[in-house]
Amino acid sequence: MDARRCFFLFTFAGFVAIAFAQQESRPFPTISPNLLQPSTHSELIRSTTETLESVRIQISQRLEQLQSLRCEIEMSKKRDKKITRKVYSGHLVIARGKGGRVILSRKGETEEYLANARELWSYDHKKREAIVLPVNSPILGFFVAEALNFNAFLAIEEKTLQFLGYQTTNGELCWVFEGKSPSRLRLLGVPVRKLRVWVSPKDGLPREIKIPEEKDLTIILRNLELNQAIKPDEFEWKSPEGVKVKNFTL
């Protein structure tokens, strides 16, 4: 199992829960152009009315209302010596305290990742090979539990977290956060990486997550469905017939 990839997929569950803002929350502030840096998205504009602290208070007040998320996901990254990016697409589902599942496909090949309180699973459909990682260490157990309980800033080290301001992605104005991944994850083979996340004020949920140092890894979420009923067994692994299962330990 690629521990770094698995963690990037599941610790960003915290970002997925970033605010779960209600429609009745106060309006997104009107801002005048105040260019901070050029971007492939739009101008990055500094907030003159909100701070990291005030935004986090709003987030904390609304997180407890989020019980589940189901959405489409696209993950892409740069390819060596090629202009086009390698793109994977699929679905993400997370239920509070129960589990998470990501299914990604590219050119007929499918990879599947599953997490619950006991195990992390990786399944390569083409190779018909599954790898299981028990959640039996304090650090691993903490991060999995927090991710599955929608810890909004789990994927960013507290002391590095910054609220940058506002920027559009795909034409939608968003809050922008930046920071570095937790240094404790290095004990599990996950290097410290800078992350940036764009959060929509319409519903308080991420629209894009970027990890530049991982070949510009970019994760985009679309068509989000909140608090839909999810069957409990969706996060229980059932090995298909003929699949080889390997145990992985840290």
**28 pLDDT more than 50:** no
pLDDT at residue 134, rounded to an integer: 86
Residue 181 lies in a domain: yes
Residue 125 burial by Cβ neighbours in a 10 Å radius (0-12, 13-18, 19+): middle
Higher pLDDT, 52 or 155: 52
Percent of the chain with pLDDT over 70: 82
Summarize the confidence of residues 10-14 as an average pLDDT.
44
Summarize the confidence of residues 85-103 as an average pLDDT.
90
Residue 236 lies in a domain: no
Summarize the confidence of residues 61-68 as an average pLDDT.
80
Residue 131 lies in a domain: yes
Residue 44 near residue 217 (C-beta atoms within 8 A): no
Which residue segment(s) compose the domain that 111 sits in?
3-26+34-226+242-247
pLDDT at residue 154, rounded to an integer: 74
Residue 219 lies in a domain: yes
pTM, to two decimals? 0.78
Per-residue pLDDT tens over the stretch 73-90: 998 888 888 888 889 999
How many structural domains compose the chain?
A: 1
Residue 102 lies in a domain: yes
pLDDT at residue 7, rounded to an integer: 47
Residue 235 lies in a domain: no
Which CATH number do you get for residue 197? 2.50.20.10
**10 pLDDT more than 80:** no
Summarize the confidence of residues 125-152 as an average pLDDT.
82
Amino acid at 199: V
Residue 189 lies in a domain: yes
Residue 237 lies in a domain: no
